[in-house]
Amino acid sequence: MFYLITLIERHGIEILDTGYTNYSVEVKEKAIRRVIYDHETARQVSLDLGLPSQGMLHNWIRKYKEDGYNVINHKKGRSAHEGQRQT
């Protein structure tokens, strides 16, 4: 709740009107490096970037560590089953 209030105070109420945003590898990498190597708080970096939740950055960091300290854009949703027709 406090995160959302601070986000609105910093970026304006219009921040709530933004839809789904696909963040580039570069944006994710800069944000992760600010937290891990520059020792900024994840909350501060999330607010600076206008992320809809601070949990998003925590997820990026977790995936970054799981993927051997590489930023990879993971595909959303379930993978297609073998034999199913893709459109």
Which pLDDT tens digit goes with each residue over 66-78? 988 888 877 777 7
DSSP per-residue string spanning the chain: -HHHHHHHHHH-GGGGG-------HHHHHHHHHHHHTS---HHHHHHHHT-S-HHHHHHHHHHHHHTTS----PPPSPPPPTTPPP-
Model pTM? 0.76
- 7 is a domain residue: yes
Per-residue confidence (pLDDT) for residue 74, from 0 to 100: 72
- 85 is a domain residue: no
- 35 is a domain residue: yes
pLDDT higher than threshold 80 for residue 83: no
The total number of structural domains in the chain stands at 1
Give the residue numbers spanning the domain of 36.
2-15+22-66
